[in-house]
């Protein structure tokens, strides 16, 4: 169960607070990252596996940094969390910005965009795992942005219901594509195609989409480009680099619809619509 005590009741203290302050101040270098990993490991050994309340770049979050790498990164080293991708995205944020966060996890991308886009923005945050969805909605409620709608479903190649395969050691790596898990590591979740989602929510345009679904990005985009009108094609895609998992040639598909590779980082590919 997620802890429902008021925000601030679980603020870090003692050695954990000291480590968090130090890791957050480390530079974006190989040595900085290695030192951060070592300090993070030490701190997690001292912590009691409970949640931690912290404000990060003006965003309040309650984090459970034990079975979710995403939450570890936000807690200890938010300066390393996709800085190039977020900088590029920030340059495109404007009035009435529309953003769809597929695989929202605990909400970092959605909250970050909301903190910069203003009251006229419209943001969808999709997360199919019930436990992680509860963390996402709690974090949304902690902040005054009022522009994020959380949706408890997966995005896939067809609307209906599907099996989600869970990774108990890293809940952020759960996927519709992983096979070989035990029955206890799976659950049935509602699913929707991207084009059905946008139509259902009344979107007439999309400025940016973030896709982080552990190798299932091709299952989402292949039917989307087949069925969606050009008016719904996003101006920007931030896609987790799953080229070793994709069954379709996703870069080729994007290029065939007028996108160009604007940025490639260690984890992600960023495609923007050619002007």
Q: ∠89-193-265 over CA atoms, to 5°? A: 30
- Whole-number Cα distances in Å, 40 to 45, 72, 73, 154, 223: 9, 8, 9, 31, 41
Token pair, residue 189, equals 């979740």
pLDDT grade, residue 179 (50/70/90)?
Answer: very low
Q: Is residue 4 classed as helix, strand or coil in its secondary structure? A: coil
**pLDDT for the residue numbered 113:** 97
* Cα 273 from Cα 235, distance rounded (Å): 5
- Reported as a single tens digit per residue, the pLDDT across 74-110 is 999 999 999 999 999 999 999 899 999 999 999 999 9
Confidence of residue 172 (pLDDT cuts 50, 70, 90): low
pLDDT at position 180 over 60: no
pLDDT tens, 109-131? 999 999 999 999 999 999 999 99
pLDDT for residue 197 is more than 80: yes
* Structural domains of the chain ordered from first start: 14-79 (no CATH), 83-273 (3.40.50.150)
Q: How high does pLDDT run on average in the chain?
A: 92
Least confident of 2-6, 126-130, 253-257: 2-6
Alpha helices in the chain (DSSP H): 14-24, 30-46, 69-76, 83-92, 108-117, 130-142, 194-200, 217-227, 250-256
Query: For the chain, what percent of residues have pLDDT higher than 90?
Result: 83
Q: Are 236 and 92 in contact (CB under 8 A)?
A: yes
């Amino acid at each position: 169960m997620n802890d429902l005590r008021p925000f601030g009741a679980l603020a870090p203290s003692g050695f954990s607070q000291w480590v968090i302050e130090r890791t957050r101040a480390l530079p974006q270098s190989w040595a900085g990252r290695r030192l951060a990993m070592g300090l993070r490991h030490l701190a997690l050994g001292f912590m009691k596996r409970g949640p931690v309340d912290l404000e990060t770049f003006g965003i309040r979050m309650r984090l459970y940094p034990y079975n979710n790498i995403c939450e570890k990164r936000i807690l200890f080293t938010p300066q390393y969390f996709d800085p190039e991708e977020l900088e590029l995205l920030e340059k495109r944020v404007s009035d009435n910005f529309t953003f769809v966060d597929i695989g929202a996890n605990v909400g970092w991308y959605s909250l970050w965009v909301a903190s910069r886009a203003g009251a006229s923005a419209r943001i969808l945050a999709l997360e199919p795992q019930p436990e992680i969805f509860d963390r996402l909605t709690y974090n949304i409620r902690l902040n005054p942005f009022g522009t994020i709608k959380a949706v408890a479903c997966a995005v896939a190649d067809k609307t209906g219901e599907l099996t989600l395969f869970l990774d108990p050691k890293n809940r952020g790596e759960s996927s519709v594509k992983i096979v070989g898990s035990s029955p206890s590591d799976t659950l049935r979740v509602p699913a929707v195609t991207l084009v059905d989602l946008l139509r259902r929510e009344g979107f007439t345009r999309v400025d940016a989409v973030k896709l982080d679904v552990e190798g299932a990005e091709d299952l989402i985009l292949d039917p989307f480009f087949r069925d969606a009108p050009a008016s719904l094609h996003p101006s920007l895609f931030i896609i987790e680099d799953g080229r070793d998992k994709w069954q379709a040639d996703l870069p080729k598909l994007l290029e065939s619809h007028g996108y160009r590779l604007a940025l490639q980082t260690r984890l992600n590919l960023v495609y923007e619509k050619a002007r």
